[in-house]
Amino acid sequence: MTDAQLPVLADLEPAATRPAPSVRIASWRDGTLTEQEDHEGVVPQLKASDGFTWVDLTEPAPELVERIAREIGLHALVAEDIIERNERAKVEPVGDYVHLVMFALTRDGETRTHEVDFVLGKRFLLSVHPAAWDPRSAHQLKLGLDAVLQRGPDFLLWALVDAVVDGYFPIFDAFGDEIDELQDSVVDSADRATVQQLFAVKRELIRIRHVIGPSREIFAQLTGREFEVIGDSTVFYFRDVYDHLIRLTDEFEAYREQVTSALELYLSTVNNNLSVIMKRLTGVTVVLAGLGAVAGIFGMSEAASAVTGGEGWGFYFVTLASVALAALGIWLLRRIGWL
C-alpha cells in the first residue's frame, strides 16, 4: 500500500475505526494555517525561512525518520535515538535545535510509558510518538491550532508538553485511591492477595519515578534560559509546567511512603496474628499438660481396678478434679484471649 492510497482508504472506513495518519504537517504563513498529510512536503516546509511548521509523525517507519533527519540536518545520533525509542527523559541541545524526550503515561490495569520525542528549531517543531498518545487532544489545541502555532514552535512545544504532564494527574489520582483501598485491606484482612497488590503498586511507582525525576530536571533547564530556540516570553509557560512537576514529585514521595507504611503494617499484622496463634497453642498445651500429668500418675496404675469397680472414691475425686481444673483453665485462657 502506498502513502498516496491512505486518504482513499480512510474515506472508506468509519470515523471511529479510522487509523491516525502517520504524517501530519501544519504550517503557519502569512496569517494562514495549512495542513497536509503527505510526507513529500515535509522537507520543503521545514526549510522554509518564513512562518512556522509543525511536523507530527505517528509511529513512523525508520526510513522516514532517517530521511527527514538527513535532509533537515539533524544529527545522526538524534535520528538513531528517535528510531530506537529506548531513551530516558532528557533535553539535549544539538547545534541550532533542541532534542527533548518525554514520556506519556496511560493506565489500563497497569501503568504504561510511551516515549515522545520533540525536535525544536527556530521555525519548526518535529514530534514523534506512538499511537497511544495523540497530541491533537491537548486542551490548548482545542481552540484552534492556528492560535498556538502563530506564536512560534516553542509555544507549541509548551502546549504539547503541558498536555503530557497534565495527563499524569489522573494517573496519580488513581494511584492515591488504590493505595487508600490497599491500606484499608491490610487493616481488615492482611492476606497474600493484598501484599501482591502492594508490591505491584510499588513496581509501578518505580516505573513512574523514572519518568517524573528526569522530567523535573528537563524543565529546570528549559526555564533557565539556556536555549536560544525558546523565547523569553515562553519561558514563563514552561515554568508553570515545572511547578506541576514539583507538585507531582511531592505526591509521588507521599505515595511511596504510604506504600512502605502499608507493607510495614502488613508485616506487623502478620506478626500479631502469629503471636495470637502462639498464645492459643500455649493455652492448649497448658490444658493438655495438666491432664497428661494426672493421667500419668493415676491412669496407668489404677485403670484396671477402676474398670472393675474396685477403686475407692479417691480415684474418682481426682479424676473429676482434673477435668474441672482443665475446664477452669480453658475458661481463664478464653477470658484473657489466649483461646
The predicted model gives 318-337 an average pLDDT of 74
Question: In this model, does residue 104 exceed pLDDT 90?
Answer: yes
Output the pLDDT for position 17: 41
The closest of 33, 82, 34, 87 to 58, measured between CA atoms, is: 82
Do 331 and 338 meet the contact criterion of CB atoms below 8 Å apart?
no
DSSP string, 241-255: HHHHHHHHHHHHHHH
The predicted model gives 101-122 an average pLDDT of 90
Question: In this model, does residue 19 exceed pLDDT 50?
Answer: no
Output the pLDDT for position 34: 83
Output the pLDDT for position 45: 64
The values of phi and psi at residue 114, to 5°, are -130, 115
Tens digits of per-residue pLDDT, 173-217? Answer: 988 888 888 888 877 776 778 888 888 888 888 888 888 988 988
Query: Hey, what amino acid is at 141?
Result: L
Output the pLDDT for position 71: 78
Q: How confident is the model at residue 232 (pLDDT cuts 50, 70, 90)?
A: confident
Percent of the chain with pLDDT strictly greater than 70: 78
Strand partners, 125: 54, 120
Could you identify the residue written with the cell 530516558?
Answer: 88
CA distance 159 to 283: 69
Output the pLDDT for position 5: 36
242: exposed, middle or buried (Cβ count in 10 Å: 0-12, 13-18, 19+): buried
Do 218 and 136 meet the contact criterion of CB atoms below 8 Å apart?
no
Least confidently predicted of 49-53, 276-280, 289-293, 329-333: 289-293
Output the pLDDT for position 125: 92
Tens digits of per-residue pLDDT, 243-263? Answer: 999 999 999 999 888 888 888
Output the pLDDT for position 296: 65
316 or 268, which is more confident? 268
293: exposed, middle or buried (Cβ count in 10 Å: 0-12, 13-18, 19+): exposed
Could you identify the residue written with the cell 495518519?
Answer: 21
128 or 196, which is more confident? 128
Tens digits of per-residue pLDDT, 149-179? Answer: 999 999 999 999 999 999 999 999 988 888 8
Average pLDDT, the chain: 80
The closest of 81, 169, 87, 165 to 126, measured between CA atoms, is: 81
Instruction: State pTM to two decimals.
Output: 0.74
Q: What is the largest CA-CA distance in the chain?
A: 123
Question: In this model, does residue 27 exceed pLDDT 70?
Answer: yes
Question: In this model, does residue 299 exceed pLDDT 60?
Answer: no
87 or 232, which is more confident? 232
Grid coordinates representing 252 are 509521588
Output the pLDDT for position 109: 77
Output the pLDDT for position 271: 72
Output the pLDDT for position 249: 92
The values of phi and psi at residue 309, to 5°, are 80, 15
276 or 252, which is more confident? 252
Percent of the chain with pLDDT strictly greater than 90: 21
